[in-house]
Amino acid sequence: MLATRARRVFGSRINRLMHVYWRFSRGVTLGVRALVTNERGEIFLVKHSYVAGWHLPGGGVEPGETVPEALGRELMEEGNIALSGPPSLHAIYFNDRASNRDYVALFVVRAFHQTEAPQPNREIIEHGFFAPHALPAGITDGTARRIAEVLEGRPAAPVW
């Protein structure tokens, strides 16, 4: 428990330092997230070692990388999920929690295959597919709102 808390504190500080670095090295930061649903309608979620809560898989778009490339890379890294069809862009959000220059593109992924069950690692400590009516405790507010937007047809909010 103490090690998990220390990783989160350390991860939070590193995250803030990275955003300071990005402020000077990049004009705007862009991230991708995916709401991945399987044939049973379950949603794939991940729990990171460095931030609290359950999240949709995703991460930052690297310089020189396209948005689809970043989405594919992040899904493979966090869930061994390979796209087998085009994802659908749901919305682009302003993420004011990270900085005043951060944006997140949310995609809905229904066509994929999982090359093998992902194994917990230093970044992703838990993962799984969850039924929409049985989401895990500790799901983040932003993640819960995005799921409601996609599955219940709610309008996309402008802010993550």
Q: Which CATH number does the domain housing residue 96 bear?
A: 3.90.79.10
Assess if residue 157 is contained within a domain: no
What burial class does residue 21 get, using C-beta atoms within 10 Å of its C-beta: 0-12 exposed, 13-18 middle, 19+ buried? exposed
Assess if residue 119 is contained within a domain: yes
Assess if residue 158 is contained within a domain: no
62-98 pLDDT tens trace: 999 999 999 999 999 999 999 999 999 999 999 987 6
This prediction has a pTM of: 0.83
11-50 pLDDT tens trace: 667 766 665 665 565 588 999 999 999 999 999 999 999 9
**Would you place residue 108 in the very low, low, confident or very high pLDDT band (cuts 50, 70, 90)?**
very high
CA–CA dist 111, 126 (Å, integer): 23
Q: What is the percent of the chain where pLDDT is above 90?
A: 75
Number of domains forming the structure of the chain:
1
Assess if residue 160 is contained within a domain: no
Q: Which domain holds residue 87?
A: 2-152
**What residues contact 6, with CB distance under 8 A and at least 6 apart?**
none
CA–CA dist 84, 3 (Å, integer): 38
pLDDT at residue 151 tops 80: yes
Closest CA to 122 of 63, 68, 47: 47
Assess if residue 159 is contained within a domain: no
CA–CA dist 17, 7 (Å, integer): 15
